[in-house]
């Protein structure tokens, strides 16, 4: 799982400095985990995301944004509650899911929002 | 499809489940812990534990890491990301546990399901919670997002007081709304709260005898509607967010029809041995009737069930016997 700084985010996900309308820059659908080290539920989601990143390698990217270190990114998405997972499909608008989700719910969202069939 | 048999399957990897796993695995029982997320449960949300004997101050995640290390050292398997969807008792006496496409068999099951945040159930709560737009149940997680903002907090127990004090370190103004006059929280916490409230120029205010009736705003929380339960006076409190700390509800929905639950959804059991209405299935921690909802008592419940499990293995008929003051055959 790659950690996103603002620079990488602009390049790989969405260049909000150049575009007003959502325009995804990636080649694979992705999930972006907005988290912080002080957040217990975030720690519970992390290993699940790690597993999914391995299980679905080549089908999607999973990124993490440390909301403490990347406050501008967190503010750009209006993050007020973590963990928040942003599901970014290839050709549609992204959808945010707030709160710790169990693995099955993440897989369901991957299927419904990202069009990724279960392995 | 896996259909491995274990002596003991523990559903839930919080302090109760890990306490049970420690004793069961150390006693060489083949033990599996199934955890929906990652071990820890509610205690992961706490950054300051001062009431767990032996630790003057430790964070929830740090304590859980130690517990995980301890139980796995004794051979317990922990499977995270595994949500149990149903249990059934077979004619053989074993219990079948269905979980994300996997099926496990167990001689005994310990339900340590924990609990989830209780909701206020007022208009606006669900809308802003789902949008991540100003409704939160975890002060430790979300307080930093309300730096220099105005927030309301609701509740009167330990978590409410502790997290409100944490919020006051970030927010410009915190109003703690409580439906009664007195706090249920321990005196040490209540004293800390009152000392902070009474500081000159304090950013912490109290609204006792008051309830929240609605959470309002356009795209995010902008205000909450309050009502004084004694005078019936209503008022509007402008705020950027609301933190709700009004207790927990047990995670027992999937057990309906399998086991007897109380009207509030807690698992019924006998308070001495923690036996449920299904032979071989014990309950530990926050999800049982009469739980003290404390870290120490959750661990204690877990330990007790692991010990009582041995009694059940020795003599399954013991399940229906009443509580006895005679030390069981062979002691422990």
In this predicted structure, what is the pLDDT of residue B174?
A: 98
In this predicted structure, what is the pLDDT of residue B46?
A: 80
Q: Which of A78, A80, A96 sits opposite B142 (nearest CB)?
A: A80
B27 flagged as catalytic? no
Q: Please check the confidence at residue A88 and state whether its pLDDT lies above 90.
A: yes
Condensed to tens digits (0 to 9), the pLDDT of residues A46-77 reads 888 999 999 999 999 999 999 999 999 999 88
Q: What's the gap between Cα B85 and its chain centre?
A: 19
Q: Please check the confidence at residue A105 and state whether its pLDDT lies above 70.
A: yes
Work out the minimum CA distance from B218 to partner chain A, whole angstroms: 14
Work out the minimum CA distance from B138 to partner chain A, whole angstroms: 9
Task: Give the separation between CA B11 and CA B41, rounded to whole angstroms.
Answer: 12
In this predicted structure, what is the pLDDT of residue B167?
A: 96
Which residues are within 8 A (CB) of B226 and not within 5 positions of it... i.e. 6 or more apart?
B177, B207, B210, B211, B212, B213, B234, B235, B236, B237
In this predicted structure, what is the pLDDT of residue B327?
A: 60
Average pLDDT score over residue span A19-29: 92
Q: Which of A48, A68, A81 sits opposite B37 (nearest CB)?
A: A48
Counts for chain B of helices (H) and strands (E), in that order: 7, 17
User: CA angle, B93 as apex, B90 and B94 as ends, to 5°?
Assistant: 70
Query: pLDDT tens digits, chain B, 332 residues: what are they?
Result: 558 999 999 999 999 999 999 999 999 999 999 998 889 988 887 877 888 999 999 989 899 999 999 999 999 999 988 899 999 999 999 999 999 779 999 999 999 999 888 999 999 999 998 888 899 998 888 999 999 999 999 999 988 999 999 999 999 999 999 999 999 999 999 999 999 999 999 999 999 999 999 999 999 999 999 999 999 999 999 999 999 999 889 999 999 999 999 998 999 999 999 999 999 999 999 999 999 888 999 999 999 999 999 999 999 999 998 887 666 655 55
In this predicted structure, what is the pLDDT of residue B136?
A: 93
In this predicted structure, what is the pLDDT of residue B3?
A: 85
Distances (CA, A) of A47 to A29, A44, B37, B81, B140: 20, 7, 9, 8, 20
Which of B141, B142, B150 to mutate to test binding with chain A, by most A CBs within 10 Å of its CB?
A: B141
Residues of A within 8 A of B131 (CB-CB) are 96, 98
Radius of gyration of chain B (CA): 22
Which of A36, A43, A72, A83 to mutate to test binding with chain B, by most B CBs within 10 Å of its CB?
A: A43
Residues of A within 8 A of B134 (CB-CB) are 80
Please name which of B286, B244, B14 lies closest in space to residue B138, comparing C-alpha atoms. Answer: B244
Alpha helix ranges (H) inside A13-64? 40-55
In this predicted structure, what is the pLDDT of residue B116?
A: 87
In this predicted structure, what is the pLDDT of residue B331?
A: 56
Cβ pair B45:A96 closer than 8 A: no
If one compares A38 and B85, the residue with the highest pLDDT of the two is: B85
B142 flagged as catalytic? yes
In this predicted structure, what is the pLDDT of residue A84?
A: 95
Which of B11, B14, B37, B80 to mutate to test binding with chain A, by most A CBs within 10 Å of its CB?
A: B37
Cβ pair B129:A48 closer than 8 A: no
Q: Please check the confidence at residue A33 and state whether its pLDDT lies above 80.
A: yes
* Residue B190: CA count within 13 A, CB half-sphere: 11
Cβ pair B144:A38 closer than 8 A: yes
């Amino acid at each position: 799982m790659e950690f996103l700084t603002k620079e990488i985010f602009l390049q790989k996900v969405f260049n909000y400095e150049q575009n007003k309308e959502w325009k995804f820059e990636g080649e694979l659908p992705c999930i972006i985990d907005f988290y912080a080290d002080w957040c217990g539920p975030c720690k519970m989601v992390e290993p699940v995301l790690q597993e999914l990143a391995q299980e679905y390698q080549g089908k999607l990217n999973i990124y993490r944004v440390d909301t403490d270190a990347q406050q501008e990114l967190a503010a750009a998405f209006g993050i007020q509650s973590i963990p928040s997972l942003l599901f970014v499909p290839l050709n549609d608008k992204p959808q945010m899911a707030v709160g710790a989700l169990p693995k099955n719910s993440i897989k369901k969202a991957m299927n419904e929002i990202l069009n990724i069939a279960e392995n | 499809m896996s259909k491995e048999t274990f002596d003991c399957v523990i559903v839930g990897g919080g302090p109760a489940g890990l306490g049970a796993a420690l004793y069961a695995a150390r006693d060489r029982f083949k033990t599996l812990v199934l955890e929906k997320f990652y071990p820890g449960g509610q205690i992961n949300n706490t950054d300051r534990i001062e009431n767990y004997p032996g630790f003057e101050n430790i964070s929830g995640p740090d304590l859980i890491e130690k517990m995980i290390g301890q139980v796995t050292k004794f051979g317990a398997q922990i499977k995270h990301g595994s949500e149990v969807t149903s249990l059934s008792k077979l004619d053989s006496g074993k219990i079948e546990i269905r979980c994300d496409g996997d099926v496990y068999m167990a001689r005994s099951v310990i339900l340590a399901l924990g609990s989830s945040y209780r909701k206020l159930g007022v208009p606006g709560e669900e809308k802003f919670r789902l949008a991540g737009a100003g409704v939160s149940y975890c002060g430790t997680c979300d307080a930093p997002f309300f730096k220099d903002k105005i927030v309301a907090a609701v509740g009167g127990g330990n978590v409410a007081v502790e997290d409100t004090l944490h919020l006051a370190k970030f927010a410009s103004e915190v109003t703690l709304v409580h439906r009664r006059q007195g706090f249920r929280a321990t005196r040490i916490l209540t004293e800390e709260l009152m000392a902070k409230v009474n500081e000159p120029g304090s950013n912490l205010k109290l609204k006792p005898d008051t309830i929240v009736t609605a959470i309002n705003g356009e795209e995010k929380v902008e205000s909450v509607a309050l009502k004084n339960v004694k005078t019936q006076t209503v008022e509007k409190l402008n705020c950027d967010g609301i933190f709700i700390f009004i207790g927990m509800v047990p995670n027992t929905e999937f057990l309906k029809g399998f086991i007897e639950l109380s009207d509030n959804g807690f698992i019924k059991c006998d308070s001495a041995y923690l036996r449920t209405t299904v032979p071989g299935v014990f309950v530990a921690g926050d999800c049982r009737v009469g739980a003290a909802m404390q870290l120490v008592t959750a661990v204690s419940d877990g330990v007790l069930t692991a010990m009582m499990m041995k009694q059940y293995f020795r003599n399954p008929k013991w399940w229906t016997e009443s509580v006895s003051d005679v030390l069981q055959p062979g002691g422990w």
